[in-house]
Amino acid sequence: MEKIRYFDNAATTKINDEVFRTMLPYLTIQYGNPSSIYSIGREAKREIENARKKVAQLINARTNEIYFTGCGSESDNMAIKGVAYTNKDKGNHIITSKIEHPAVLNSCKFLEKQGFKISYINVDENGVINLQELANSINESTILISIMLANNEIGTIQPIEKISKIAKDKGILLHTDAVQACGNIPIDVSKLGVDMLSLSGHKLHAPKGIGALYIKSGTEIEKFMDGGHQEKDKRAGTENVASIVGLGKACEIANKNMTEHVKYLEEIRNYFIQKIEERIPQIKLNGDRENRLPGNANVSFKDVDGGELLLKLDSKGICASTGSACSSGSSAPSHVLVATGLSDEWTKGALRITFGEDNEKEDVDYLIDSLVEIVEQIRKNK
């Protein structure tokens, strides 16, 4: 079988071997329900709290401010809808951006159907939010601002600290979707000034189906799922113990290795960008060249169809994407690239490459050589 070279770490990451080993006992011998009072139940509960501490340490939060969820999308839904329902008597206006993840955008669209008013803020050509437009959009009924920390398609990092100042000056809650950022850049919720932050395990080498929501102490949100009293009565349902333990271990590893991780990803990303700009004509780097996630390279190839490009890369054992995995079933151009003002001739040829710690230089060279060959072939056959 041909070697698979994986360059789609923004879609999902491989479970770390140490994370997997840490999870195994809670899938086999330590299978107790954390709500039970006997020994294997108490052990499960202890390990959940231990994992909660590790997640908190990754983002410099208090342990009691971390709530486990089923995924990053659930965390976004829980934050946005929870604040909306809690504060509906105070106001019905929410501010977000045009380049948010579908979990945020579709939560807002759902609330619009219930009478909430949503302002979708523009971004510049690099995907950076227009701060003046955001500030001007605030009115007396504004109850929440939700802006992602880093974009999942083009990697642009938003000025959350500046947005926080705008929000706090007006007494408005701030949520950030940090699903792509957590584990890839240092995060300090106190420094950012956010009231809520969403993260997901499978973006930082933990399993799929586990996420977390940071809720700053004193922030009230209404639960939107009924059942038992788990997660301090904020999120019902028997806890996914093994995955929670895995998320805790992944956060511990990410916290320990952050400096080296960022440096390595930046090196191979910059090498990749430099080489393809040298070797392939008529290409465009999407997103901010410097202010972006260390492993992200989103590039558009003129006169190339992104879908055809992906299929030809796949035939060479290369995994990449044209944008968000959550939008892969759509034939519409990327809403993120459209929001940056990119024309059709560039949006249709976009390719998202997201590097991980398993990618070696020889893999990157193989990717570069393959792109040079495939792009030339596609253009020649047009």
As a whole number of angstroms, the distance between CA 105 and CA 199 comes to 16
Q: Is 182 a catalytic residue?
A: no
E strand or H helix at 95: strand 93-97
Name the residue among 201, 294, 211, 213 with its Cα closest to residue 250. 201
Instruction: Give me the helices (H) in the chain, please.
Output: 17-23, 39-59, 72-86, 102-112, 131-137, 160-169, 189-192, 230-233, 241-279, 306-315, 335-339, 344-347, 361-380
Helix (H, G, I), strand (E, B) or coil at 292: strand
Answer whether 157's CB lies under 8 Å from 187's CB.
no
Q: What six digits make up the tokens of 301?
A: 């190839």
DSSP track, 317-356: TEE-BSS-GGGTT--SPPHHHHHTT--HHHHTTEEEEE--
> Which residues is 350 bridged to in the sheet?
300
Taking CA atoms, 13 is separated from 17, 50, 206, 319, in Å, by 12, 23, 8, 12
Residues 108, 182, 319, 326: which is the catalytic one? 326
**Residue 192, both tokens:** 């950012």
Distance, CA of 238 to chain centre: 25
Q: What are the residue numbers of the active site?
A: 326
